[in-house]
Amino acid sequence: MESGFYDLRWEVYKSGYDSAFALFFESGGTAPVLVPGSNYGAMAHDEIYQGQAIAFLAAGGVLTLNRIDTLSTQTIFNQISGGTFVTGASIVLLKIG
């Protein structure tokens, strides 16, 4: 990944109730830092959560999607009824500058 501004979009297919997720970026061995504006949550049961943000990311860093609450047990789904496997979480990075 090159240094620059990125359009960041993420999605999680989860079960459970109230929860929140956010992107974190770690660069150069520093502690991971919350990507401003990437923290989203909802008060709902089994659904897809989505978030987005624009941020400057440095080359060589690591971007992760993490749960940021401790309210109740959550499960990231990797299949739907009938056993069809699906992607339970994803992050899309699009360099914009």
Contact 4, 57 (CB under 8 A): yes
Sketch the domain layout of the chain as residue ranges: 4-95
CB-count burial class (<10 Å; 0-12, 13-18, 19+) for 22: buried
Q: How confident is the model over 41-48, as a mean pLDDT?
A: 78
Chosen CATH of 4-95 out of 2.60.120, 2.40.160, 3.40.50, 1.10.3470: 2.60.120
Cα–Cα distance for residue pair 78/66, rounded to 1 Å? 17
pLDDT in tens, 70-87: 888 888 888 888 889 988
Give me the pLDDT at residue 77, please: 84
